[in-house]
Amino acid sequence: MENISSDIENITKEIKKEKSDTITYKVVEKFVSINGEGQKAGQLAIFIRFQGCNLNCVYCDTKWANQKEAKYHLMTAQQIIDYIKSTNVKNVTLTGGEPLRQENIMYLLEKLSLIENINVEIETNGSVSIAETKKIKNSPSITLDYKLPDSNMEKYMDLSNYDFLESKDTVKFVCSSINDLKKAKDIIEKYSLTSKCKVYLSSVFEKITPAEIVDFMKEHNMNDINLQLQMHKYIWDPNLKGV
Ligand SMILES: C[S@@+](CC[C@H](N)C(=O)[O-])C[C@H]1O[C@@H](n2cnc3c(N)ncnc32)[C@H](O)[C@@H]1O
Ligand SMILES: Nc1nc2[nH]cc(C(=O)O)c2c(=O)[nH]1
Ligand code: SF4
Ligand SMILES: [Mg+2]
């Protein structure tokens, strides 16, 4: 009997391994840099960028990654984990494209949640539900965009996401104009975002100056909100990939 049960156990392990080997993710680039955005800005981070997006923001700086014909590597969760471990860097940013639209992404998130001493963050566009991610013990922190009017994608925002926000999460408003800033202010107030999570205002590179954002913040007494510049675009050529 003992032999039979250990045989069954081995077969089950084998089936599970085969299943995990067949789940792959479309990775268009992976690299280590300093995080130029978010709560870990300025710290070393590993970036895993997934192919494909369900939105098409006017200002998107990674349109190349969204194309169907973008060159990608198929990686299993284990290969992604091996890469992460090989770097000795503890911050991991999953981005894209839209990471939460990657097939079987929950499987990868669950695997990553089991690794000790890493911080996983997901950059997501605000149109996809984050509810499932919150069921994971040690869930990744979420940086959730609210796509403002000038992005042309505002109508796709899933506002039910705000019921799931925690203090480790961030809502980010990428602004192109004063009109965008006004809308950001309305949404921040309507959903009491500063009491739920971190709130960032960022500028679309070369569309609005950081000084204009600061002036708007001063004029409207916007406390508990961070101005966020994409640091990597000041350090390197703003069009450079892999930094
Ligand atoms: C390329 S997106 C990928 C993740 C996800 N699709 C999203 O939109 O959050 C990563 C972050 O870069 C921001 N971003 C994209 N293009 C930008 C630009 N031209 N200027 C400033 N931020 C930009 C997005 O708003 C998002 O916060
Ligand atoms: N250095 C650097 N930091 C980043 N933070 C978020 C990024 C993204 O594209 O999601 C990004 C990026 O592309 N590069
Ligand atoms: S949602 Fe993100 S990746 Fe998709 S088009 Fe907008 S900025 Fe680009
Ligand atoms: Mg980027």
Nearest CA to ligand 1 atom 2: 96
Q: What is the pLDDT of residue 205?
A: 81
158 within a domain of the structure (yes/no): yes
Q: How close is the Cα of 93 to the center of ligand 2, in Å?
A: 8
Residue 163 domain-assigned? yes
Query: Is 1 domain-assigned?
Result: no
12 domain residue, yes or no: no
pLDDT value for 206 = 83
**In angstroms, what is the span from residue 207 Cα to ligand 1's centroid?**
14
Task: Using the predicted structure, report yes or no on whether residue 21 has a pLDDT greater than 90.
Answer: no
Scored b (16 or more CB within 10 A) or e, 53-85 reads bebebebbebeebbeeebebeebbbebbbebbe
Ligand 4 centroid – CA 61 distance (Å): 6
Between the CA of 152 and the centroid of ligand 3 the distance, in Å, is 11
How many domains is the chain built from?
1
Domain that holds residue 154: 23-235
Q: Which atom of ligand 2 is nearest to the CA of 37?
A: 5
Mean pLDDT of 135-148: 98
Which residues define the annotated binding site for Mg(2+)?
A: 62
pLDDT of 242 above 90: yes
Cβ(128) to ligand 3 under 6 A?
Answer: no
Which amino acid does the sequence have at 73?
A: H
Mean pLDDT score across all residues of the chain: 94
Q: What is the pLDDT of residue 7?
A: 74
Nearest-CA residue for ligand 1 atom 7 is 125
Binding-site members for S-adenosyl-L-methionine are 59-61, 97
Give the ligand at the shortest distance from the Cα of 200.
1
Amino acid at 91: N
Residue 32 Cβ contacting ligand 2 at under 6 Å? no
Ligand nearest to the CA of 145: 1
CA of 153 to the centre of ligand 3 (A): 9
Among protein residues, the one whose CA lies closest to atom 27 of ligand 1: 145
Write out the binding residues.
Answer: 34-36, 49, 53, 57, 59-62, 95, 97
Specify the pLDDT at position 152: 98
**Tokens at 193, concatenated:** 């975002």
Q: What is the CATH number of the domain that holds 43?
A: 3.20.20.70
Q: What was the pLDDT predicted at 15?
A: 62
